Amino acid sequence: MTDYKAPLRDMEFTLFELLKFEQHYDALGVSEDASPDVVRAILEESAKFCEGVLAPLNAVGDREGCQWDNGEVRTPAGFKEAYQQYVEAGWPSMSHAPEYGGQGLPESLGTVISEMIGTANWSWGMYPGLSHGAMKTLELHGTDEQRQCYLTKLIEGSWTGTMCLTEPHCGTDLGMLRTKAEPQDDGSYAITGTKIFISAGEHDLSDNIVHIVLARLPDAPAGTKGISLFVVPKFLPNDSGEAGERNTLACGSLEHKMGIHGNATCVMNFDAAKGWLIGPPNRGLNCMFTFMNTARLGTALQGLSHAELGYQKSLAYAKDRVQGRALSGPAQPDSAADPIIVHQDVRRMLLTQKAFAEGGRMLSYYLAQLVDIEHLSEDEDAKREASDLLALLTPIAKAFLTETGFESANLGLQCFGGHGYIQEWGMEQNVRDARISTLYEGTTGIQALDLLGRKILMTQGELLKRFTKQIHVFCKENAENEALGDMIQQLNTLNKEWGELAMHVGLLAMENPDEVSGAAVDFLMYSGYVTLAFFWAKAALVAQANEGSDDPVYRAKIKTARFYFARVLPRTQGHREAARAGGASMADFSLDEF
């Protein structure tokens, strides 16, 4: 079946034409290191690696899975060699601080590379992907000694990282966490407990694995206020900073999963393992959210990746597979039948995938731009605004892009008909791999509660206003655009309605707090559709300015934007009415009536 091809032209459109990354990097003082020519060269090299090395291993990882033997894990054939190539090329160090061995390029550039890796082979990409969160946590909350010891090796790529949160009895509710951390005379802690669902918790790709672990000190208060954060390596660093004595932790087993078979999802047992405190005691959850927010943005990329992969494969199939005739008359009279892309329903499925993949790319790269500003800008007001926008948009991106990514994976399979159900085409793998994305790093329901409850209602709508103001200004500036006027008007109406919907739910919640959870998912999906509409309208405006070009990308942008507004955006009406309806229809059930 058709191999993955990095969508470099669309990436460049989003980076340089839609989001003006050249000016963005110039404002941050990094334009010399990240000029358009440098960025294009990096993307081209990444594309070669992803297309030529990672993509062919995607089906291998699914077929072989990981093998567990007495606590050790062997990854699928070719995974280790691919990781060695990845490290030798310097990819792990690209977007990290030079003082710890990084190349100092902006984090947003790493986001684009991560998209390519994830689309080519999500299972493989999770091994280095988890390291980014560990690096970020140590960079912001670790001691100088911890950064020199662990961060340098993680940036180098010779060591990898994980995060260890979930336990058999507690997933979302981390206040129930039981893993213990006993202080030792040498300043370390003895970590004892069991963690489950630990992605990349054990493998054979790197020399060491650095676990970022949540645990409780002996005198810790109950609940989430009594959680601390620790760095617990598989091998204890020796005097020269290399992996030395084996720590007392091990992988007890591998989970038998629906998808992402090429990544080891581990049960990790810590038996008085030596670890060191990261950040203040009993403030571990605050520090861990650095990791969690990085992971949530990464999971949003997973939704984009599955939408892109499904679209590429189903588009190629739809152009090649001949079945039936176009209702308006034969499109290819000399053939026995027409290619299925002539059928309107197939086009509906293809264009829905295209709208979610390309729209998701716009949103993801915009969030990466905000991350750059938050970390690199010297303008405190700009940093604060970027932080506020990230707080609002991260739960939307994580939940909405994974829900639509899974929908797109299903639509891609549907385009194949019965062949989509057959393993050899790779479509059913894409569906299985995509399914986890709406669950981990906080389910869609958890993201929705975070968005509606914490980010909007608890701030009296201030975070929402920061973003809706952008949309309002855009609509006002382009209200007289005749060619795009219907889209601008529709977006403007929904933007006003967004705030009104939040206020309506808020008033219901004053009478009954359960109304928030009852409305949250519909509110989040409504928010996601409006957010993508904003980016599609902006993309259409950019494309309109280039209509005289021979490049078909501009005509396609305008037409895809029109499809999104006509055939996808009306979904907001159903979500709006469901969110407004209140929770009585759910609450009015006793337990024995279910």
Instruction: Report whether 229 contacts 218 (CB < 8 A).
Output: no
Going by pLDDT thresholds of 50, 70 and 90, the confidence category of residue 288 is confident
Q: Which residues are catalytic?
A: 441
Tell me the pLDDT tens digit for each residue of 474-512.
Answer: 999 999 999 999 999 999 999 999 999 999 999 999 999
CA atoms within 13 A on the CB side of 540: 27
The pLDDT of residue 172 is 82
Candidates 207, 205, 193, 194; CA nearest to 246 is 207
Task: Work out the pLDDT band at 28, boundaries 50, 70, 90.
Answer: very high
What mean pLDDT do residues 405-416 have? 98
What is the model's pLDDT at position 293?
A: 84
pLDDT tens profile 144-154? 999 999 999 99
Residue 1 has pLDDT above 70, yes or no: no
Tokens of 496: 């006003």
Compute the average pLDDT of residues 6-31.
Answer: 96
Instruction: Give the model's pLDDT for residue 587.
Output: 87
Q: Tens digit of pLDDT for each residue in 300-357?
A: 999 999 999 999 999 999 999 999 998 988 888 988 899 999 999 999 999 999 999 9
pLDDT at 286: 86
294 has pLDDT over 90: no
Of 151, 197, 145, nearest to 170 (Cα)?
A: 197
pLDDT of residue 287: 86
Those residues with Cβ within 8 angstroms of residue 301's Cβ, 6 or more apart along the chain or in another chain: 111, 114, 115, 118, 364, 401
Q: Measured between alpha carbons, how far is 179 from 467 in angstroms, rounded to an integer? A: 40
Cα distance between residue 225 and residue 215, in whole Å? 11
The confidence band for 292, taking pLDDT boundaries of 50, 70 and 90, is confident
Would you say residue 45 has pLDDT above 80? yes
- Residues 62-106 have pLDDT tens digits of 999 999 999 999 999 999 999 999 999 999 999 998 999 999 999
Query: Is the separation of the CB atoms in 455 and 395 below 8 Å?
Result: yes
pLDDT attached to residue 2: 58
Look up residue 401 and give its two tokens: 């892009």
pTM of the model: 0.96
Q: Report the alpha-carbon distance of residue 124 to residue 54 in Å, rounded.
A: 8
Which helix (H) or strand (E) element contains residue 526? helix 514-544
Q: State the DSSP string of 260-309.
A: -TTS-EEEEEEEEEEEEEESSTT-HHHHHHHHHHHHHHHHHHHHHHHHHH
Mean pLDDT of the chain: 95
pLDDT at 254: 97
Read off the pLDDT band of 387 (50, 70, 90): very high
Check pLDDT > 70 for residue 229.
yes
